Chains A and B, each alone.
Chain A
Amino acid sequence: MVALLLNGLHTTFSLAIFPFLVLGVAGGIVIGALPGLTATMGVAVLLPLTFGMESTRALVVLAGIYIGAIYGGSISAILLKTPGTPAAAATVLDGYELARKGEAAKALSISAIASFVGGIVSTVMLITISPILANFALRFGAPEYFALAVFGLSIIASISGKSPVKGLLAGMFGLLISTVGLDPVTSFPRFTFGEINLYNGLAIIPVLIGLFALAEAFVQMEKIFEPARTVETDFKRGMVSLKETISLLPVMIKSAFIGTFIGSIPGAGADIAAFVCYNEARRTSKKSKEFGTGCLEGIAAPEAGNNGVTGGAMVPLLTLGVPGDAVTAILLGALVIQGLQPGPLLFAKSPDIVYGLFSSLFVGNILMLVFGLLGVRLFCRVVELPKRIIIPVIVTLSMVGAYSMNNSLFDVWVCIAFGGIGYIMQKVEMPSSPIILAVILGPMAESNLRRAVLMYEGGYSFLWTRPITVVFLALALLSLYSSYKRAHAA
């Protein structure tokens, strides 16, 4: 394997591959950072450009975009309170608060380092233990997915900021809108009012862009002629110190493991992982009360977690031939278009491509760290731009992003509507993150509960007879309990 990896590194650093990897990672960071352009979209839009490329090059470019974009989403989350991708929605909670204290540079550098740690750990796990991970992931049937979704939903209280009650209300609203669309079991249209654009439910991207990017733009518009953003203190230039980084390592590594694991389960991706890691870090932290006020761990955990998914999601793709998340679903298409058969035979038939991809993931993560740290100063300038420039840019990008996911004007209207809802929510100090979490997890919980009941022919015994299900449901209770305790201790 070492020889194959060295061979892979040789491929990675060849003139035919390396410049494309650099382009992919850098392009991915830009795509991720722009509100409205997500990792999935970046990979999907650039996919046709790779059709004519040689197989390894095509894969490496797309994988580079993937890891770059998952990290890049945190840049706008931290600086503008608008997550560039759903995966960065959890990073807003503490990243933006820290930036508001004038420590944007610190927040950005933590994010880059945590993403790097997440990416590297997950790549190592992908290379070394992917068959074990894949076997474990296959044990996830409908009952396990349901329990995982319930566990995810139990996090709502922990990401609700000052008022858990308002957070729960927002979560309920999110669950309610997640029922729009065709019933997952009978295909009966629910709350669609005969509008075919609603048959698949509300698309998550326009909802996310509306609630975060547009709503924030609307709020900022009230103060559009003020010279710069609300500067509460002078901007500090300092990045995160070595000592702080070392103290954050345990959180990052734990989150990287959780991220890799969640990524390897088909159908669960970076967005879920980021929230789960945030919650887990908060639950076990000595400083759990500081979460939500600009806590370093609150940035490191979701960022290590979401980049942990990048390696994890490749596990089912390469070992089983099924995608681990939305991005790897497109990578699967790319493999097939290249005439390759994803799955176990890929290792046997084209080891050079697989190991070329592995070593490129390593190098790509290093490139991401370098670009991220070098870019901190540059990114920080964004905050100093006058509002009358930055707000129109955000609004334009939001509209383009909402439209281009499905080439749908309907989605633009959805985005604007949720911009209005998000604006009102900000005014009444209701958190938006629970809506996003509920829209992601609601359909997962519903369809898997109903599948599980079908599997058990109407029974509910799966709730206590399947070990993984029991563990996740217990974790959900634990997570609710610790939120309750936190709220009452305060």
Chain B
Amino acid sequence: MKKLALFATLLLLVFAGTALAADFPAKNIRLLVPFAAGGGTDAVARALAVAAEKHLGQPVVVMNRTGGSGAVGMTEGATTKADGYTVTMITREIAWLPQMGLAQITPDNFDMIALVNEDPAIMLVLPDSKFTSVKDVIETAKAAPGTVKFGSTAKPNFYLLALELNQGVKFNQIPYNGAAEAIPALLGGHVEFTMVNPGEAISQIMAGQLKPLGVCSDVRMAGLPDVPTMTEQGYPIVTGTWRGIAVPKGTPEAVKAVLGAAFEKAVAEKEFVDFMNGRTLGIRFLNAADFKTFVDNDVKALDAVVEEVKKQQQ
């Protein structure tokens, strides 16, 4: 009798599971964006939402929840009801905010669904700058540590730290609020170089107002084939940012499978691809398992850097 009851319960659970998966999604899906409308993360999310709707069969509504370098929105995304109706666009900030003590959640509070975007950092100077190569920048900084002025999009700046730790150099970091402030500071000659994502400066690069010296990726970018990588120039620095989709820990497997399949197809949609290429945003898809490994590795890689930041803060 007991066995029968157990069997019945199991059977019920299985049916419940499939029923849920078959029903899902039965209503709107909320896509939480931890940064403001009009910014880069928002743009990727909105384009992705449109592409994903087709494969989910339900509207995907973008909701911006800003604050704390993304901590506010990602915390809400991690602690919301684990039913798959709220998905969050997580960004690389999740890999260092917790270690810095700036967020109470960690990547472990999420179940990963898919990585959708990865962008390298790119080093930019003015066209008439005395620096004509990455070597110029690094050698000048080695000769006079802490004097070359770097326009930073955020503090801590993980692009600059990657460069500093790799080469054992020190720059004079002037922190601004995002690329929207750092780029004008470089254009006006108030700083000597900056490192941003290519999409953030593509119009200035195309117009010849800013000159890219090197890109921090393994291979050259398709959109900027004339810009050499840092590695090519003898400085093996690979860094950048990434964005992906995640749900709260404990979301049913069947629901996650539906979401994973939908976002995989969405990333391949022509209009999404066109949009990303048009903005010089890189598409990189990883499925749930690979995305999790990817994030875990990034957290480990950033641990050393975070230690360095904490040392500097004291």
Contacts and interface: CB of A to CB of B under 8 A. Distances in A.
A binds B: yes
Interface of A: 44, 47-48, 51, 137-142, 182, 184-189, 196-197, 199-200, 266-267, 316, 320-323, 329-334, 336-337, 339, 341-345, 406-408, 447, 451, 454-455, 457
Nearest to B313: A186
B181 interface: yes
B313 A332 contact: no
Contact of A329 (B38, B46, B66, B175): B38
Interface string B172-185: 11111100110111
Closest 10 CB pairs of A and B: A333-B38, A199-B68, A343-B203, A141-B190, A138-B188, A330-B38, A321-B203, A44-B37, A341-B203, A344-B207
Contacts of A337: 43, 46-47, 275
B209 interface: yes
Given A187-B156, A196-B103, A336 B279 contact: yes
B42 A141 contact: no
A138 B313 CA distance: 31
A490 to B, nearest CB: 41
B46 A51 contact: yes
Interface of B: 36-39, 42-43, 46-47, 50, 62-69, 71-72, 75, 100, 102-104, 146-147, 149, 155-156, 172-177, 180-181, 183-185, 187-191, 202-204, 206-207, 209, 275, 278-279, 313
Given A141-B188, A196-B67, A344-B209, A184 B175 contact: yes
B175 A333 contact: no
A138 B103 contact: no
Contacts of A186: 155, 313
A3 B127 CA distance: 34
B202 A341 contact: yes
A406 B66 contact: yes
A339 B272 CA distance: 12
A199 B71 contact: yes
Nearest to A41: B37
B305 to A, nearest CB: 14
Contact of B181 (A48, A182, A266, A333): A266
Nearest to B71: A196
B157 to A, nearest CB: 10
B269 to A, nearest CB: 15
Contacts, number: 141
Contact of B209 (A182, A320, A330): A320
A322 B147 contact: no
Contacts of B191: 455
A322 B67 contact: no
B313 A455 contact: no
Nearest to A200: B67
Contacts of A457: 146-147, 172
A185 B155 contact: yes
A455 B181 CA distance: 15
B266 to A, nearest CB: 16
Contacts of B69: 182, 199
A321 B180 CA distance: 9
Given A344-B209, A451-B174, 12 more contacts: A140-B188, A187-B102, A187-B155, A187-B313, A322-B183, A329-B39, A330-B38, A333-B42, A334-B38, A339-B278, A341-B206, A345-B207
B164 to A, nearest CB: 16
Given A197-B72, A336-B279, A344-B207, A316 B172 contact: no
B171 to A, nearest CB: 11
Contacts of A196: 67-68, 71-72, 75, 102-104
A48 B38 CA distance: 10
Nearest to A335: B203
Nearest to A327: B38
A199 B43 CA distance: 24
B180 A322 contact: yes
B184 A320 contact: yes
A454 B173 contact: yes
B65 A406 contact: yes
Contacts of A323: 180
Contacts of A185: 155, 175
Nearest to B279: A336
A341 B209 CA distance: 14
Nearest to A346: B203
Contact of A408 (B62, B67, B149): B67
A457 B174 CA distance: 10
B175 A197 contact: no
B181 A407 contact: no
